[in-house]
Amino acid sequence: MLDVRDAEARAAALIDSALKAGADAADALYAGDASTAVQVRLGDLEDVMRAEGEEIGLRVFVGQRTASVSSSDLSTDALAALVERAVAMAREAPEDPHSVLAPKDRLWCGEAPDLEADDGADPDPVGLKARALETEDAARAHSQVTNSEGAGISTGRTVIALATSAGFAHGYTASGYSGWASVIAGEGGDMQRDHASHSVRHFADLDAPQAIGALAAARAVDRLNPGKLASGTMPVLFDPRIAGGLIGHLLAAMSGPGIARKSSFLLGREDEPVFPEAITIVDDPHRRRGLKSKPFDGEGVSTTHRALVDRGRLTGWLLNAASAHQLGLAVTGHATRGAGGAPGVGATNVHLEPGAATPAELMADVKRGVYVTELIGQGLNPVTGDYSRGASGFLIENGAVAGPVAEITIAGNLIDMYRNLAAANDLEFRRTVNAPTLRIDGMTVAGA
């Protein structure tokens, strides 16, 4: 794996070669990564994995025709063949007037923001194994935990470098660490499983093994002896570990390519409130140690802090160069990119700002409802917003959480759900999309 400076030089050299071979414009992305993962189960080492890889992708433009190729062989001969193949493919490709590079005046330049994305640590496998065993031991210490699906920890480092024919050539590195445990509580037909995990940029920020293991055990035990729930229309509260999924559906619907294809349930709703006025949703690509923090996007465009939803209203779409060109709008710094293929779009570190009420206060007036902790399936129509998911969690009775419930389905339409959404004050930054406990009134719940 190359360091950042060498990766920048390699990508820039590939651009020069493409232009000399007849391309009118080009960009190139280098991606290298190295990772280590250790997994244990029932007190024994189950797996140790070490992986390293690198890939470089080249996109060339010949007039209004474009082609993308990639290679994991970075030798001189392989890259020369890569350039020749890319230019030849572009000359035979269909014309696409919207396939363009990002505007030069929007490319990132200047001092890099202090993202603290790479801690420079390199934990040894022996220490990782000890930590994984400690995590599982903490989970199995609970008297009602009867089996384990294992525990583990992974570490990784990524190098990204992007170069374009507009003169852009920059890169960055990021580290990542994750710890997890998954256990089973109960016996026979009453067994329940659950898990806990934590992902961070800095090793020092990772939750203690005892905390991860104990949380996994507590979650599994709390699910024992689930009851049935009669069907009806009622308030549904979403636990923070799944609440971000509701925001993830919003981000997908805000995708510029989807808007250009007219395949989003948000189409035509730019000028109307989508959420209550109390709701603001923020994309913060410069959060220190954020899981998706980065100085520029997949096309070299500067990333910026932005309220995606400001006091209930959409502020625009997530746009890369192609979708911005097609819609006649400006790029927003949301291009995503792999070494192969054309850029897509995506957000970075997203959060829904917290409300004023505690979770207990948010459910205090609920006579009968559901507190959902797990969702099953992918029941969403992205064109209409119709939503239906299998779920499990806990019954809410007379303003308080009661016993566990399972085998239920919750359903609604995301437009109606968003308009009836309220947020608690328990926001924590633990994921790429973060939300506090959320309440949505008037959802259809199908139970026994």
pLDDT in tens, 125-155: 999 999 999 999 999 999 999 999 999 999 9
3-state class percentages of the chain: helix first, strand second, coil last, to nearest 5: 25, 40, 35
**CA distances for 259 relative to 106, 253, 327, 336, angstroms:** 22, 8, 8, 17
| 251 assigned to some structural domain | no
The pLDDT confidence band at residue 25, using thresholds 50, 70 and 90, is: very high
pLDDT in tens, 199-256: 999 999 999 999 999 999 999 999 999 998 999 999 999 999 999 999 999 999 999 9
**CA distances for 376 relative to 102, 304, 386, 393, 410, angstroms:** 39, 34, 16, 12, 10
Neighbours of 121 (CB within 10 A): 12
Contacts of 431 (CB under 8 A, 6+ apart): 199, 241, 244, 291
Distance CA 26, CA 82 (A): 13
| 303 assigned to some structural domain | no
Q: Which two tokens stand for residue 63?
A: 């007039």
Q: Are residues 114 and 235 in the same domain?
A: no
Number of domains in the chain: 2
Identify the pLDDT of residue 111: 83
* CATH number, residue 17: 3.30.2290.10
Strand intervals (E) in 254-326: 281-283, 306-310, 313-314
Domain boundary among 187, 221, 255: 221
Average model confidence (pLDDT) across the chain: 96
Whether the pLDDT of residue 380 is over 90: the answer is yes
Identify the pLDDT of residue 110: 81
Do the beta carbons of residue 214 and residue 139 sit within 8 Å? Answer: yes
Domain boundary among 160, 187, 221: 221
Domain boundary among 221, 254, 288: 221
The pLDDT confidence band at residue 272, using thresholds 50, 70 and 90, is: confident
Q: Give me the domain span that covers residue 431.
A: 225-245+354-446
Q: Which two tokens stand for residue 71?
A: 């290679």
Distance CA 423, CA 427 (A): 9
Q: Are residues 239 and 205 in the same domain?
A: no
Neighbours of 262 (CB within 10 A): 9
Identify the pLDDT of residue 377: 86
The pLDDT confidence band at residue 374, using thresholds 50, 70 and 90, is: very high
Crossing angle of helices 209-222 and 125-140, in 10° steps, is 30
| 441 assigned to some structural domain | yes
Q: Quick one: three-class SS letters along 129-196?
A: HHHHHHHHHHHHCCCCEEEEEEEEEEEEEEEEEEEECCCCEEEEEEEEEEEEEEEEECCHHHCEEEEE
Q: Does residue 109 sit in helix, strand or coil? A: coil
DSSP state of 188: G
Distance CA 407, CA 227 (A): 9
Crossing angle of helices 4-20 and 76-92, in 10° steps, is 50
Distance CA 300, CA 161 (A): 10
Identify the pLDDT of residue 271: 79
The pLDDT confidence band at residue 56, using thresholds 50, 70 and 90, is: very high
Whether the pLDDT of residue 189 is over 90: the answer is no
| 117 assigned to some structural domain | yes
Do the beta carbons of residue 155 and residue 176 sit within 8 Å? Answer: yes
| 82 assigned to some structural domain | yes
Q: Are residues 240 and 93 in the same domain?
A: no
Identify the pLDDT of residue 229: 92
Contacts of 219 (CB under 8 A, 6+ apart): 194, 195, 196, 373
Q: Are residues 209 and 236 in the same domain?
A: no
Q: Does residue 230 sit in helix, strand or coil? A: coil
pLDDT in tens, 403-430: 999 999 999 999 999 999 999 999 999 9
> CA 326 from chain center: how many Å?
26
Single-letter amino acid code for the residue at 66: T
Identify the pLDDT of residue 341: 87
Contacts of 177 (CB under 8 A, 6+ apart): 123, 153, 154, 155, 156, 199, 200, 201, 202, 203, 206
Q: Are residues 149 and 185 in the same domain?
A: yes
Strand intervals (E) in 291-385: 306-310, 313-314, 335-336, 344-345, 350-352, 368-376
Q: Does residue 408 sit in helix, strand or coil? A: strand
Query: Is 441 exposed, middle or buried (CB count within 10 Å of its CB: 0-12, 13-18, 19+)?
Result: middle
Identify the pLDDT of residue 9: 97
| 253 assigned to some structural domain | no
Q: Are residues 70 and 216 in the same domain?
A: yes
Distance CA 157, CA 174 (A): 6
Identify the pLDDT of residue 270: 86
Identify the pLDDT of residue 319: 98
Q: Are residues 234 and 193 in the same domain?
A: no
Do the beta carbons of residue 328 and residue 316 sit within 8 Å? Answer: no
Do the beta carbons of residue 269 and residue 250 sit within 8 Å? Answer: no
Distance CA 17, CA 23 (A): 9
| 382 assigned to some structural domain | yes
Beta bridge partners of 368: 397
| 131 assigned to some structural domain | yes
> CA 6 from chain center: how many Å?
28
Q: Are residues 371 and 403 in the same domain?
A: yes
Q: Are residues 94 and 238 in the same domain?
A: no
pLDDT in tens, 90-127: 999 999 999 999 999 999 998 888 999 999 999 999 99
> CA 115 from chain center: how many Å?
18
Give the closest residue to 12 by CA, choosing from 53, 54, 56: 56
Q: Are residues 63 and 207 in the same domain?
A: yes
Q: Which two tokens stand for residue 184?
A: 């089973």
Q: Which two tokens stand for residue 380?
A: 């969403």
% of the chain beyond a pLDDT of 90? 95
Average pLDDT, integer, range 184-190? 91
Q: Are residues 159 and 146 in the same domain?
A: yes
Q: Are residues 33 and 100 in the same domain?
A: yes
Our CA dihedral for 77, 83, 87, 88, rounded to 10 degrees, sits at: 20
Do the beta carbons of residue 192 and residue 147 sit within 8 Å? Answer: no
DSSP state of 165: T
